[in-house]
C-alpha cells in the first residue's frame, strides 16, 4: 500500500509539474514592444455611463466637452491615430443604396436631426444630416455641436480610402446574417494585405457568415468570445486553443485575464500562433461586456512590460502612459 501511494503521489507531482511547465509564463518567450492601442470610437465625446442601456441616448448624457471631435467621423479617426492609436474602432450600418454608413446608433433620432432607423435610409439622405445635432451636456439647454456636423457621416469606402494603411476594427451593429454577406463582399474586393489589417466584431449571425465568406479577416462575436474564454479556461492547460479563439479578435476583461492559462506571455504567444489579436478590456461585471482601460489605475493592473492589445476610450491618456503618444 505504501509503495502504491508513493507511485500515485509521484504521478500526481509529475502531472502537476508538466502542467506548470506547459503553462507558466515565466518560461515563455516575451514579445518585446509597446502595447497595441485600440481607440474605441476614435476620439469622441464622453458621456455618463451609469445605467446605460441599449436604447439610452448617450448624446443627451454628454459630459462637459474638452474637445470638438464627434465619434465615427474621419476627423475623429485621424485624431485617434495622431494621439497614438494603432487601431481605431468604427460602427457601420448598410444603407438602402448599397453603401455602408459609418454611424453608431440604430436610429437617427438621438444624435442627428433625422428620424427613423439608420439602415432604412439612403446614404444620400444620411449625408444631409447634422450628426452633432443632439449632443448636450446640460439637459438640453445648449447644444454645442448643433450645425457643425452637417454632411460629416462618412461611408465605409471613404474610410478605407482615407486610411489605406491603417488598422481598423469594424462593429456590425445588427444580428442580420445578410449584413455579413454584404460586408464580406466589400472586404473581399480589397487586396489581401488590406483585409489582414481589418478586424470585425458584432452580432453572432453576421459574424458567423463573415468567418465563412471572408476567412482571412479576424472576427469575434459575443457568443464566440464567451466560448473562446470559457473553453480556454477549461482546457487551455493542455496547450490546445479553442476554435473560437482562432483567427479572431480575443477580448479579455482585465479581471478575467489571471484565469487564463499562461497569462500573459504564454497566452499571448498561443493566440499569436493561432493568428489572433488579444485586447484587454476593463473589468467584466456580468451582463454587458466591460468598458476599456481608461484610467491610470486600470492601466497599472496590466502585467509589467505588457505588449498585447489594449482597448481604450481615452486614447490620449493611455497613449501617454504607455509611451506611444505621437508628438
> How many other C-beta atoms are found inside a 10 Å radius of the C-beta of residue 185?
11
User: How far is the C-alpha of 326 from the C-alpha of 82, rounded, in Å?
Assistant: 6
Would you kindly state where each structural domain of the chain is located, as residue ranges?
33-322
User: How far is the C-alpha of 308 from the C-alpha of 173, rounded, in Å?
Assistant: 26
Q: pLDDT tens digits for the chain (327 residues)?
A: 577 766 555 554 544 455 555 576 565 566 778 999 999 999 999 998 888 787 889 999 999 999 999 999 999 999 999 999 999 999 999 999 999 999 999 999 999 999 999 999 999 999 999 999 999 999 999 999 999 999 999 999 999 999 999 999 999 999 999 999 999 999 999 999 999 999 999 999 999 999 999 999 999 999 999 999 999 999 999 999 999 999 999 999 999 999 999 999 999 999 999 999 999 999 988 766 568 999 999 999 999 999 999 999 999 999 999 987 664
User: How far is the C-alpha of 322 from the C-alpha of 242, rounded, in Å?
Assistant: 30
* pLDDT value of residue 296: 97
- Give me the phi and psi of 112, to 5 degrees please: -120, 180
Q: How many CA atoms lie within 13 A of 151 on its CB side?
A: 0
The Cα diameter of the chain in Å comes to: 85
* pLDDT value of residue 15: 46
Question: Against a cut of 0.85, is the pTM above it?
Answer: yes
**Assigned CATH for 33-322:** 3.20.20.190
Outline where 216-295 has alpha helix (H). 222-235, 265-273
Residue given cell 506611444 in the structure block: 324
* pLDDT value of residue 12: 45
Pairing type for strands 87-94 and 100-102 reads antiparallel
User: How far is the C-alpha of 25 from the C-alpha of 257, rounded, in Å?
Assistant: 13
Exposure class string for 247-264: b at 16+ Cβ within 10 A, else e: bbbbbbbbebbeebbbbb
For 119, the grid coordinates are: 439602415
Stated as kind and residue range, the H or E segment containing 18 is helix 2-23
Amino acid at each position: 500500500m505504501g509503495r502504491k501511494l508513493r507511485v500515485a503521489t509521484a504521478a500526481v507531482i509529475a502531472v502537476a509539474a508538466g502542467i506548470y511547465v506547459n503553462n507558466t509564463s515565466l518560461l515563455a518567450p516575451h514579445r518585446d514592444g509597446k502595447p497595441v492601442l485600440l481607440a474605441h470610437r476614435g476620439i469622441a465625446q464622453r458621456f455618463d455611463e451609469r445605467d446605460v442601456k441599449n436604447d439610452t441616448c448617450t448624446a443627451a448624457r454628454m459630459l462637459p466637452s474638452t474637445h470638438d471631435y464627434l465619434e465615427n467621423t474621419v476627423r475623429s479617426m485621424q485624431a485617434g491615430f495622431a494621439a497614438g492609436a494603432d487601431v481605431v474602432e468604427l460602427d457601420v450600418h448598410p444603407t438602402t443604396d448599397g453603401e455602408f454608413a459609418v454611424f453608431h446608433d440604430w436610429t437617427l433620432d438621438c444624435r442627428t436631426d433625422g428620424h427613423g432607423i439608420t439602415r432604412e435610409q439612403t446614404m444620400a439622405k444620411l449625408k444631409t444630416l447634422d450628426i452633432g445635432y443632439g449632443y448636450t451636456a446640460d439637459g438640453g439647454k445648449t447644444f454645442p455641436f448643433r450645425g457643425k456636423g452637417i454632411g460629416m457621416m462618412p461611408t465605409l469606402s471613404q474610410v478605407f480610402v482615407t486610411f489605406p494603411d491603417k488598422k481598423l476594427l469594424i462593429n456590425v451593429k445588427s444580428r442580420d446574417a445578410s449584413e455579413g454577406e454584404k460586408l464580406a463582399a466589400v472586404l473581399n474586393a480589397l487586396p489581401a494585405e488590406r483585409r489582414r489589417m481589418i478586424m470585425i466584431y458584432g452580432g453572432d449571425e453576421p459574424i458567423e457568415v463573415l468567418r465563412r465568406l471572408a476567412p482571412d479577416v479576424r472576427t469575434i462575436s459575443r457568443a464566440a468570445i464567451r466560448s473562446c474564454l470559457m473553453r480556454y479556461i477549461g482546457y487551455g492547460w493542455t496547450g490546445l486553443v479553442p476554435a473560437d479563439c482562432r483567427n479572431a479578435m480575443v477580448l479579455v476583461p482585465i479581471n478575467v485575464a489571471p484565469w487564463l492559462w499562461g497569462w500573459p506571455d504564454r497566452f499571448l504567444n498561443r493566440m499569436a500562433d493561432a493568428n489572433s489579436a488579444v485586447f484587454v478590456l476593463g473589468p467584466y461585471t456580468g451582463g454587458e461586456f466591460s468598458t476599456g482601460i481608461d484610467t491610470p489605475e486600470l492601466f497599472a493592473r496590466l502585467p509589467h512590460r505588457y505588449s498585447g492589445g489594449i482597448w481604450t476610450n481615452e486614447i490620449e491618456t493611455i497613449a501617454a502612459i504607455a509611451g506611444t503618444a505621437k508628438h
